Amino acid sequence: MKISKYLVVCIALLFFFSLSAATLQGRIVDSQNEKGIETGSIYFIGSGEGTISDINGVFSLETPETGNDTLLIKVIGYENKKVLLHFPVKNILEIELETQILSFKDKVIVTATRRAITLDKATVSLDVIEREKINGSGAHNIAELLESVGSLQIRDYGGVGNMKTISLRGTSAGHTLLMLDGQQINNSQNGEVDLSLISLDNIERIEIVRGGSSAIYGSDAIGGVIHILTREADKNNIFDLKVRQTLASFNTYSIESSISSSISNFSILSTYQYLKSQSDFSYINSMGIVEKRENNDVTRHHLYTQIKFNPQKLLKRGYLQLNYNYINSDRGAPGTITYPFPYARMQDEQHNIHFKYSNNSNDLRHKLQAQIYYSFNNNHYINEHPTDVLFPSNDRYINEAIGSEIQFTSVFMPQLILNYGISVRGDIFNNLGLGEKYNRLSYAAYIVDESVFKFTSPLISSLKITPSLRYNGNNKFIDNLSPKMGLLINLGLAGNLSIKGNIGYNYRIPTFNDLYWPADTYTIGNPLLQPEYGMDWDAGFRFNNEYLSFESMYFNQKLTNLITWQAQDWVWSPQNIAEARINGIENALNIQLLNKMVQFSANYTFMNALDLTNSSLGNITQLTYRPQHSADLTIGINYHKASFRFKTSINGKRYTDAANTEETALPTYILNSMILRYQWNTKMIKLDGILEINNLFDVSYSMMKDMPMPGREVRFTLSGSLFKIK
């Protein structure tokens, strides 16, 4: 506790607001609608002094009493602009910027360092999936959208509504941290997130950071981070009504609607999705006989509302935001085909309330962000048929989390940009069936530094160093320090070629299931468990320009103290005895040809995921469900308002048991899909039509043992903006 107090004091002392003397005042606006542009970079070329614009595009900057200099304005999505100034400047400047189409490297991410930066300034390996790609995907949930991301594996238990989990760089599902607008959403009961429950109607973009990130985000980020960022109302529209409908194979239907309004300093967005699928499908069993997968249906409701307010009199350079997220799902739980549960049902109800406050200092060099959140997850599993169920079940679990975080960003100079803060979170697990209730309290302090050094050398244009340190406390476990260091070297004057690398220390605390699984004849939890630990590093290079980007990264991770369930006197209990080493190389290529009419993308991952638990006995095996080889290839053609995309996915052989038994291993499979899209406008509405065919050649395959996947599926989606007022 002493360490935590010292860290909190140090972080508080780092945040202060600069005093201003003579200043230049101005405002940057969009040339088309004359609305202010926020988070723009404004600085003098000669002196290097700079600042950023606030939510209304307003900025202020200290100036010398006499002389001249050139003001440079840079905003992502707009053309750069230079303004020659002679001091003193008596008038308030209003600077208009022209829009510009973003290149690959200009995509914005916030997850890597907790501050908005572009892809080419990140030391880590990552992907960004933006709203346009989400709109053109036809996906029912986030799992389907992430299938083509390199070094990422989806564990799909079959069908639209069945459970889907995720892992990065060969780690387990519980080692991948998922966040929603900065809030951790991993289930404290089992450490995982069921991606089949997360729809896409309210998502603006998804950021996938590969590699350990415990130094920035704490527990569960051993393999990486998936950060989901929600939409906001369009500031250019007073009112906008959109509807999206999908019809698909297996009696699947969904409808999404969104209503948004933006007036002055107030905006509101509300989305709703209804999904219903029978999802029964035929498959070929191990004997070559066609059977039917039943009790696979799902009905899901998803409601999301966001309210954003900028009270000018109270917060001239900030805003208040309130988000509410509601999910209700009722689905079949058919089990495996060897032990089917034709009457089992799963019901999920989730509520999430998230309040956020953000404000900038007068000189815009310092930013404060605070958030408070509460989540409620109710899971009910029922398998009680009076005649066909040997061991009936009626289990109900409630997971609650309440937490808060305060984060500061201070731009002292290009060589010193700090993101630092403190957080506290409480988790409550309630097993209603047994009347058992458990809780834990976590708290943390962290600091991330971004130091950028510019050079005029023809060999190196810039050097970026990002050291991070996080102190983690927990009322159940010993305190933990997680450090990390990132490095990015941009080569050549243009900086198109870069070398980057990272090294860090990661950890994960046990889940409530691991600690407190109720004792019965065959199983019992272990309250003496300790956290799992990992040390990882990666290194590689990236090249990008307007038409081509290529990245290759080697990664290596050693995991110790891993929790595994083992039998002692016929009773299964978790123990901290497992070890693993995961290394490999991931490659990603993007090419745009013929004035960006033709697009080609590919990724390939080679991975050795080794179980070292029994290495002292000379027994080293491959971790289950980790393919050595995986790849995705996509070709897209855009012509006016029409587009075509063809995708091929390859997943190598996967072992299903720790002994690596060849007879039960899942074989390599190759899947193909295609999407046709056409957008057209009428006088009244804007329409967008998508025809998608998944598993084009009707391949029979499984991602999990005894969990068959559907065959060929056809989807048709039609969406449109039905009513808009600007």
- pLDDT number for residue 11: 46
Question: What are the residue ranges in the chain where pLDDT is below 70?
Answer: 1-22, 33-34, 39, 55, 76-77, 100-106, 313
Of 369, 374, 373, 372, which Cα lies nearest the Cα of 357?
369
The b/e string for 240-257 (b: 16+ C-beta within 10 A; e otherwise) is bbbbbebebbbebebebb
- Whether 319 is covered by a domain: the verdict is no
Find the domain containing 36 and state its range.
Answer: 2-97
User: What pLDDT does 84 receive?
Assistant: 87
Residue 414 counted as domain residue: yes
Quote the CA–CA distance of 322 and 310 in Å, as a whole number: 12
The enclosing domain of 369 has a CATH number of 2.40.170.20
329 token code pair: 């799902």
Q: Return the number of other C-beta atoms located less than 10 Å from residue 131's C-beta.
A: 14
Whether residues 409 and 523 fall in one domain: yes
Backbone angles phi, psi at 76, to 5 degrees: -60, 125
Residue 647 lies in a domain: yes
Domain check: are 425 and 512 in the same one? yes
Q: Is residue 311 included in any domain, yes or no? A: no
- Answer yes or no: do 112 and 93 share one domain: no
User: What is the C-alpha to C-alpha distance for residues 21 and 31, in angstroms, rounded to an integer?
Assistant: 30
Closest CA to 330 of 293, 378, 375: 378
Please provide residue 120's backbone torsions phi and psi, each rounded to the nearest 5 degrees: -75, -5
| Same-domain check for residues 246 and 143 | no
Q: What is the pLDDT of residues 24-71, one digit of tens each?
A: 888 888 777 667 787 678 888 877 777 777 767 888 888 887 888 888
Q: Do 113 and 86 share a structural domain?
A: no
Element (H, E) at 133: helix 131-135
Q: Which of 172, 196, 228 is the last residue of a domain?
A: 228
Q: For residues 517 and 433, state if they share a domain.
A: yes
Last residue of a domain, one of 228, 263, 284: 228
Same domain, 157 and 248: no
Which residue type does 604 have? Y
How many angstroms separate the CA atoms of 511 and 507, rounded? Answer: 13
What CATH number is given to the structural domain containing 41? Answer: 2.60.40.1120
**Residue 314 forms part of a structural domain:** no
Same domain, 191 and 275: no
Domain assignment present for 521? yes
Query: In this predicted structure, what is the pLDDT of residue 401?
Result: 97
Domain count, the chain: 3
pTM of the model: 0.87
Kind plus residue range of the DSSP H or E element containing 298: strand 298-309
Identify which of 448, 372, 440 has the alpha carbon closest to the alpha carbon of residue 406. Answer: 372
Residue 299 domain-assigned (yes or no)? no
- Please tell me whether residues 203 and 265 are part of one structural domain: no
In Å, how far from its chain's centre is CA 531?
A: 24
Q: Are residues 161 and 48 in the same domain?
A: no
- Which of 49, 66, 97 delimits the end of a domain? 97
Residue 223's beta-bridge partner residues?
A: none
Helices (H), 602-649: none
- For tokens 């999990």, what's the residue? 704
- Please check whether residues 168 and 190 belong to one and the same domain: yes
For residues 332 and 298, the answer to whether their CB atoms sit within 8 Å is: yes
**Could you tell me if residue 391 is inside a domain?**
no
In a shared domain, residues 569 and 647 = yes
CA dihedral 409, 410, 416, 421 (to 10 degrees): -50
Give the angle subtended at the CA of 668 by the CAs of 147 and 277, to the nearest 5°: 45
